[in-house]
């Protein structure tokens, strides 16, 4: 096959993952945290597909689809939470939600 080798895709995946982690740890808005989480999930997807290409097996690609399904449901729940917070006029800041209290 032509084009860049599989290692390059894995490198991109790693970089994307680090960017995602940095976003989760450093951003205060829950919306941006969710976004970073999506980036991480996508980087994992990329890695799955790259390995699938490397070994010639379809398992990686199939699992990438499964990951996408999970990501979608998780975003629904997460956005639902954020909408609920906004409806109560709470400040959208992860640092403020330190207690498990209604």
Partner 1 sequence: MTFGSWVCLVAPLAGFLAITLAGTRITRSQAGWISTGSVFVGFAGAVVAFLDAWGRDAEQRVELTTAWTWLKAGEFQVGLELLIDPLSLVMMLVVTGVGGLIILYSNGYMAGDDEERRYFAYMSFFVFSMLLLVQGGNLLLLLVGWGLVGLASYLLIGFHHERPSAVAAAKKAFVINAIGDAIMALGFFLAIAHVGSLDFGAVFGAAESGELSDTVVTLLALGLLGGAVAKSAQIPFHTWLPDAMEGPTPVSALIHAATMVTAGVYLICRTHLVFEAAPDVQHIAAILGLATLLAAGVIALVQWDIKRVIAYSTMSQIGYMFVGAGVGAYGFAMFHLVTHAFFKALLFLAAGIVIHHLQGEQDMRRMGGLRTSMPFTHLTFLVGTLALVGIPPLAGFWSKDAILSSALDQGGALGWILFVGGLLGALLTGMYSLRLYFAVFHGAEYAGRHEGVEAPHVEEHGEGPRSMTVPVGVLAAGSAVAGLLQIPGVWHPFENWLEHTVEPLVHASVGEEWLTSALAVSLGVLGSLLAWRAFTAGRELVPEGAIRRTLEHKLWFDEIYDAAFARPAQAAAVGLRDRFETPVVQGGLDEVAEGTLRGASATSAVQSGLLRTYALAITISVAVLALIFLVVR
Burial zone of 75 (CB within 10 Å; 0-12 exposed, 13-18 middle, 19+ buried): middle
Applying CB under 8 A, which of residues 1, 83, 99, 102 lies at the interface with partner 1?
99
- The pattern of x and - marking residues 20 through 59 that bind partner 1 according to CB under 8 A reads -x--xx----------------------------------
Comparing CA positions, the residue from 20, 59, 27, 23 lying closest to residue 43 is 20
Closest to partner 1 by CB, 38 or 53? 38
Nearest to 39 by CA among 61, 17, 72: 17
Closer CB to partner 1, 91 or 94, in the complex:
94
In whole angstroms, how far apart are CA 80 and each of 6, 53, 94?
Answer: 38, 36, 15
Q: Is 102 in the site for partner 1 (CB under 8 A)?
A: no
Applying CB under 8 A, what is the total number of residues that bind partner 1?
9
**Interface ranges with partner 1 (CB under 8 A):** 21, 24-25, 94-95, 97-100
């Amino acid at each position: 096959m032509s084009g860049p080798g599989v290692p390059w895709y894995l490198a991109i995946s790693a970089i994307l993952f680090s960017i995602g982690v940095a976003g989760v740890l450093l951003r205060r808005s829950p919306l941006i945290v969710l976004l970073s989480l999506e980036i991480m999930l996508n980087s994992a997807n990329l890695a799955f597909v790259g390995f699938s290409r490397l070994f010639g097996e379809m398992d990686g690609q199939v699992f990438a689809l499964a990951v996408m399904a999970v990501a979608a449901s998780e975003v629904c729940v997460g956005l639902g939470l954020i909408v609920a917070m906004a409806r109560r006029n709470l400040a959208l800041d992860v640092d403020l939600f330190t207690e498990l209290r209604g």
